[in-house]
Amino acid sequence: MSAPRDDKAGDDKNPLVERPPDDFAERIAAAEGDEKLHVRVAADLSPDLSFGQRWLIVTDKRIVILDAEEAPLEISLGEVTSAQMRSLVGGARLVIERKDKTPVSVYVSSTAAPTFADAADRIGELVKGGALKKVKRRERQRCPSCDRYLPERGMVCPFCLVKRVTLKRILSYLAPYKKAVAVLIPLMVGSIGIDMVPPLVIGKMIDEVLVPGAPHSRLYFYVGVLLGLKLVSMAVGTVKGWIAMWMSSKITIDVRTSLCRALLRHSIAFYDERQAGMLMSRFTNDAGRLQGLLANDVPAVVINAVMLTGVFGFLLYKDWFLTLIVVAPVPLVALATAKYWRPMNRAWERVGVRWTRLSIHLGETLAGIRVVKAFGRERHEVDKFKQNNDKVFERSLRADMRGFIFFSMIGFAMTCGTYFAWWIGGRQVLRNEISLGELTALIAYLWMLLGPLQWFVQTGNSVNNALVSAERIFEILDTPAEDMDAPDAVPMPRIEGRITFENVTFGYDKEHPVLKDVSLDVMPGETIGIVGRSGSGKTTAMNLLTRFYDVDSGRILVDGVDIKKMKLHDLRSQLGVVMQDTFLFNGTVGENIAYGKPDATLDDVMGAAKIANAHDFVLGKADGYDSEVGERGCRLSGGEKQRVGIARAVLRDPRILVLDEATSNLDTRTERSIQEAIYELAKSRTTFIIAHRLSTIRRASRVVVVDQGRFAEVGTHQELMEKKGIFYEMVQALEAQQEGWGWESDEIPIDYA
């Protein structure tokens, strides 16, 4: 049997050609032969839906399905009619349809489904005989260093975390609080010194007082000394704890503020790739763990390290033999910890992932509460939450039990040495080699030695979790922010409003552009109506103008200046945008209208509301412009929210106005009542109106018809009608629907045509 060819071993640039394992390599090479290879991917489910490995091989002539044990199944490409992916519960299957024969299915889990969806597309292209599209490698959520799967998108790999570097960065936040640190450190050292005195006092009391014939007055003295030491220790501990908590809270506030500032500087594309619940967990769970690290763990590390060093040195001086007996189990404990620590870390990481999923689900449910209520899905959402909650419980219980058993065994091993110390020391007391008081003091110090050792073993997990949380926060802080200004950014304090699209191409996925080489020149003061069917690229063009995204190729000019070279603040401060789904902040109507111009007077707010036809309904509210709109404007109707959004844009008096189906939620009568005001407002500025109804753009200076990512037609309403192209056909379709719908043609949504 021939050996596998090197050029078919695997292609890092082509995700549809995977590298086979050694036990499959020869069989796969034999199945491929000398034919041109297009697909070689591994399925992870057997026909009986159990986990197993099967290989799908597609050449320019055949499709081969290779099983671990059975003979390969070969299908001639000529007899294949189509290949489609069909969803299953927890997975999917690739169905290969054949001429006059039973279809063949290849089952895969959800993990492999995206790759097999690309494979199905490739088979379809081969069957049709068209050009083969380049397949983009899907982003794999693996650590680039160790290639392990990341627990969640954007999460730092806990196995590759350089704890020393992370801790050093955390401690750098202490710099503004040097005075507090200068007070805290002496208090820590002082508290350790105070805590080391009582064993000596107790030893003295046993030898000098708790013996027959000793004066009772000395008992009062020693008890008074112990009480005084305890009071001083409590006072020092209270001040020390207050300073540590104050400082950690201030640092956490600083971190959260930096995190908020970073999030607001990130681009829209950053949020497209991340879930809101995951980002919120950075402020809650991760920031909380960081605060616990700074308030409790970092001071405890210092205290226990100093305590461990001081007590160990003192014990070696007093009785080195007993000391070595007590610490004898420590090397074995260290080896056991090194062996079992990683599995425990993995268990806790799984708990963290479950917590994140629970938070994401709860956030989505609350954000979509109206949909949940409207469809009566409360019980479904509760059941789903309970399932996630149960999984958190199961993971937590499993991790806690593992930790409980492990730490119980560690604790037993650590304390075994003290039992030998009592045995050996007791014999020394019986032989009058040392006094009972000295032995008691030594045993007390030995327990003080074990305390820090056990702390370092048992709290390592919480410290590690806190360091991972800190690194996840730093990952957000270190992600490159939106490119605010180029080094040679041009200030544009006053925009005239000439907009030029020059051969602009853009796609949210660069391999599949939404806009394709579009060009348009808009003069200052023009009103441009934009029409087209859903998904044609209308909103995308406006997203590029506002620089929510940057073009892949070509450029957009404002007054002859590339917007990438403009100061972003100058561009957006002179833009007014009203979107179809108007977002209102929790506050009053007046505050929302004045959001883009905080220094606006009430008269200014009312003037903008009158233009947007919002003044009357606002006055109809109990508190007028002081009426609360609720979260996301939930106390207003859809039409009321849109009118507030239009008033917000009007008040800003922008040089460029973008209305993205801004009147789609208004009834026809209300829309007509504000159209006059909008067109009056548009006379002194460049305006883009993405139309939902034909009447919206009838009076536009020009109309742009967007079709399949191209500006297919540009002209006045009359010119496009005379041209009898795409726009004419849309209008004709609307008029044909007029009688059946019972609407006026202007009322029918234009993207229904």
Interhelix angle 197-208/178-195, nearest 10 degrees: 20
Q: What is the dihedral of CA 281, 283, 284, 287, to 10 degrees?
A: 110
For 273: left if phi > 0, alpha if psi spans -120 to 50, otherwise beta; the answer is alpha
Q: Which of 180, 323, 347 is nearest to 251 (CA)?
A: 180
Q: How far is CA 179 from CA 173, 184, 235, 666, in A?
A: 13, 9, 20, 60
Residue 741 has pLDDT above 70, yes or no: no
Task: Please state, in angstroms and rounded to a whole number, the distance separating the CA atoms of residues 502 and 490.
Answer: 19
pLDDT band at 140 (very low <50, low <70, confident <90, very high): very low
Highest mean pLDDT among 128-132, 242-246, 261-265: 242-246
Mean pLDDT of 730-741: 63
pLDDT number for residue 751: 46
**61: helix, strand or coil:** coil
pLDDT-wise least confident of 156-160, 254-258, 658-662: 156-160
Reported as a single tens digit per residue, the pLDDT across 171-206 is 777 788 888 888 888 888 888 888 888 888 888 888
381 or 371, which is more confident: 381
- Per-residue pLDDT, 521: 92
| Helices marked H in 162-215 | 163-171, 178-195, 197-208
Overall average pLDDT of the 633-655 stretch:
83
Question: At a CB cut-off of 8 Å and minimum separation 6, what does 238 contact?
Answer: none
State pTM to two decimals: 0.57
Q: List, for residues 505-560, the tens digit of each pLDDT value.
A: 988 877 678 888 999 999 988 889 888 877 788 888 988 998 888 888 999 999 98
Q: Within 13 Å and on the Cβ side, how many CA atoms surround 202? A: 15
User: According to the model, what pLDDT value does residue 5 have?
Assistant: 38
* Domains detected in the chain: 6-128 (2.30.29.30), 177-478 (1.20.1560.10), 499-718 (3.40.50.300)
Q: Find the helix packing angle between 330-367 and 436-458, rounded to 10°.
A: 40
* pLDDT number for residue 235: 92
pLDDT, mean of residues 618-627: 88
Most confident of 350-354, 376-380, 545-549: 545-549
